[in-house]
Chains A and B, each alone.
Chain A
């Protein structure tokens, strides 16, 4: 079955430093999504990437989808304490999967003030 690997597993940064998490799929994807889960909370949708090489920005967050549509990254510029949480990529293989997502194991981000 489809495998989604996410690295690093943990990232500790000082407030103001940048942060990047990477996601790699064993298969070509239809689209990829990113979710954020605060401690004790549930996953919350951040963005969906569909096109090869796509780059999207949300304020300090930059999302990229690889040219081969098998990898993706999330970059946060100048982290803030509000960025604390676990960031998951979620891969959709398309076809008849009806939007089935395979989640990576997540990157836990801690930000020291």
Chain B
């Protein structure tokens, strides 16, 4: 079974530039999550999708961050404009719904550096 795919793996941009990250979840996983992990901290949920609908985006800085999952499969996360404090690893995770397990499967992440 293929895992969660993310690209790019690394990105360096200057502040005020824009950047986009892509995620392809495990096939059949209806729930998709985007997390921000700042160095030395635990992952922080940014947005959660159930199929192509947003379930929770309460911690998404909506003035600069946006995300979509148009066909209920792939998802993109965008930052525009980026700030220095956005430097972090952006993790995508997916989950199979309709089971007793809440296990999330994480992708390798995109390491963003904002200079």
Residues of A within 8 A of B95 (CB): 99
Residues B45 and A102 in contact, CB atoms below 8 Å apart: yes
Q: Interface residues of A toward B: which range?
A: 20 to 34
Residues A33 and B109 in contact, CB atoms below 8 Å apart: no
Residues of B within 8 A of A88 (CB): 42-43
Residues B43 and A92 in contact, CB atoms below 8 Å apart: no
In the complex formed, the residue of B with least CB distance to A4 is: B42
Q: B108 interface residue, CB < 8 Å from A?
A: yes
Q: Tell me, rounded to whole Å, the shortest Cβ–Cβ distance linking A89 to chain B.
A: 9
Q: Interface residues of B toward A: which range?
A: 20 to 34
A88 to B37, CA, bound (A): 12
Our pick among A45, A100, A101 for the contact of B105 (Cβ within 8 Å) is A45
Contact A101:B108 (CB < 8 A) given known A42-B91, A106-B42:
no
Instruction: Mark contacts of A22-44 with chain B using CB atoms, 8 A cut-off: 1 yes-contact digit, 0 otherwise.
Output: 00000000010100000001111
* Interfacial residues of chain A within 1-53, with CB under 8 A of chain B in the complex: 6, 31, 33, 41-45, 48, 50
Contact A98:B50 (CB < 8 A) given known A43-B91, A45-B105:
yes
Q: A97 interface residue, CB < 8 Å from B?
A: yes
A-B contact pairs, 21 of them (CB 8 A): A42-B107, A43-B104, A45-B103, A88-B43, A90-B42, A98-B31, A99-B31, A99-B95, A99-B97, A99-B102, A99-B104, A100-B45, A100-B55, A101-B104, A103-B42, A103-B43, A103-B44, A105-B40, A105-B41, A105-B42, A106-B41
Our pick among A44, A45, A100 for the contact of B48 (Cβ within 8 Å) is A100
* Further contacts, 20 of them, CB under 8 A, given A105-B41, A105-B42: A31-B102, A33-B102, A42-B107, A45-B105, A88-B42, A88-B43, A97-B56, A98-B31, A98-B48, A99-B95, A99-B97, A99-B102, A99-B104, A100-B48, A100-B55, A100-B56, A101-B102, A101-B104, A102-B45, A106-B41
Residues of B within 8 A of A85 (CB): none
In the complex formed, the residue of A with least CB distance to B109 is: A42
Residues of A within 8 A of B55 (CB): 98, 100
